[in-house]
Amino acid sequence: MEFSARQIADLLQGTVEGEEQVCVNNLAKIEEGQLGSLTFLANPKYEPFIYHTASSVCIVNKSFEPKQALPPSLTLIRVTDAYASFAEILKMYAQIQKKPTRIEQPCYIDPSAEIGANCYIGAFVYLGANVVIGDNCAIFPGTYVGDYSQIGNNTTLHSGVQIYDRMLIGQRCIIHAGTVIGSDGFGFAPDSQGIYSKVPQIGNVIISDDVEIGANCTIDRATLGSTKIGSGVKIDNLCQIAHNVEIGDHTAMASQAGIAGSAKLGKFVMVGGQTGINGHLSIADKTKIVAQSGIPSSITSADTFMGSPAITLNDFKRSHIVFRRLPQIMDEIETMRKELIDLKKNKHK
């Protein structure tokens, strides 16, 4: 499918600088662009590539000022925010690439299940009793949706997603391959001899609208009540969210982060990769946690935290300066110790 620079500029409310009728039919990184491709420049680190790119059209910020001659075949589209504009193009491209409406075979759909309009159901999908699938959903091959679960409109479940019974997933969500929603929480009670007995997990998971969950994540069902994921939450690959956790709206978690049971994260929290968050605590809205940090207790006011156990970023930086000097400090202490011993010896002579 081809689009002209003028058509793209009109979609993005941008201005064309160059040949308005030049057409593009694919998308490319600026350093890999070829004739007929559309690219963008937002990060100044990539500016050198624009002077040699073979792309036909490049989206740039209005403030972009070339430092040397651009390729004569390159047309610019100037916009307020090049990165956001290219993201909009990617969304439109994804819509064009959507799977056609159909139900592939073989698959199992319980007679009591309800499927909305314009859905794609891939081969080997299992939809249990009283499942409700909204309009315009895409459920890719090998996905399981358990009894009484509900999937909102315009939601996509990629291959191999496992949705246990009675899970509620909102509208416009994306759940990537291999993720499990509703597995049992880690609930075990030791007896007097230290032998563990399983505590039944009978709650569910509620995922609000506009949530995206990466590949191979696990979100455990609540022991009682619900594990809750707020609107607009973004969760990277390989994250673990335990039973009865609550994550506030528009919070983001990077890869391999883990949250223990009953922790409550506020809104607009940012959690770096490989962070561990203890159970039964709360984290204030707009808190930022640097990668590989450990959070052992509640955070009551927004700040940036780092380390394990985590402290505020400024305190961590000051502490790290001292930590790097520890060998030197130890040498100085040892020298002082020897001098003190010599002084004592001389005093008794």
- At residue 98, the pLDDT reads 78
124 touches 109 (CB < 8 A):
no
- Rounded to the nearest 10 degrees, how much is the dihedral formed by the CA atoms of 247, 252, 255, 261? -10
What do you get for the CA distance between the two ends of the chain, in Å? 97
- What does pTM read for this prediction? 0.84
Report the candidate in 306, 287, 310, 288 with the shortest Cα–Cα distance to residue 297.
310
CA atoms in the 13 A half-sphere facing the CB of 3: 17
CA dihedral 11, 16, 21, 25 (to 10 degrees): -60
**Sequence-separated contacts (24+) of 139-142 with Cβ below 8 Å:** 140/99, 140/177, 141/104
Round to whole Å and give the CA distance between 278 and 301. 17
Q: pLDDT, tens digit, for every residue of 143-161? A: 999 999 999 999 999 999 9
pLDDT > 70 in the chain, percent: 99
Mean pLDDT along residues 230-255: 98
Share in percent of the chain as helix, strand, coil (round to 5): 20, 30, 50
**What DSSP state is assigned to residue 46?**
G
User: What pLDDT sits at residue 146?
Assistant: 98
Both tokens of 28, joined, read 């490319």
Cβ-contact 264, 277 below 8 angstroms: no
Tokens of 105: 């075979």
State the Cα–Cα distance between residues 138 and 176, nearest whole angstrom: 12
Element (H, E) at 103: strand 102-103
Residue 130 has pLDDT above 70, yes or no: yes
Residue with tokens 């956790």, as numbered in its chain: 245
pLDDT at 38 exceeding the cut of 80: yes
- 226-229 vs 196-198, strand pairing mode: unpaired
Tens of pLDDT along 180-224? Answer: 999 999 999 999 999 999 999 999 999 999 999 999 999 999 999
**CB–CB of 16/5 below 8 Å?**
yes
Domains 3-96 and 102-314 share a fold: no
Domain boundaries 102-314, corresponding CATH code: 2.160.10.10
Q: Which CATH superfamily is domain 3-96 in?
A: MurE/MurF, N-terminal domain (3.40.1390.10)
- Delimit the domains of the chain by residue range: 3-96, 102-314, 321-347
Q: Identify residue 71 by its one-letter amino acid code.
A: P
How confident is the model over 283-328, as pLDDT tens digits?
A: 999 999 999 999 999 999 999 999 999 999 999 999 888 888 889 9
Bridge-based pairing of strands 294-295 and 288-289 is unpaired
What is the rounded CA–CA span in Å between residue 207 and residue 339? 66
Distances (CA, A) of 48 to 37, 57, 58, 71, 148: 18, 16, 13, 12, 55
pLDDT score of 95 more than 80: no
Assess whether pLDDT exceeds 80 at residue 270: yes
pLDDT of residue 180: 98
Active site residues: 243
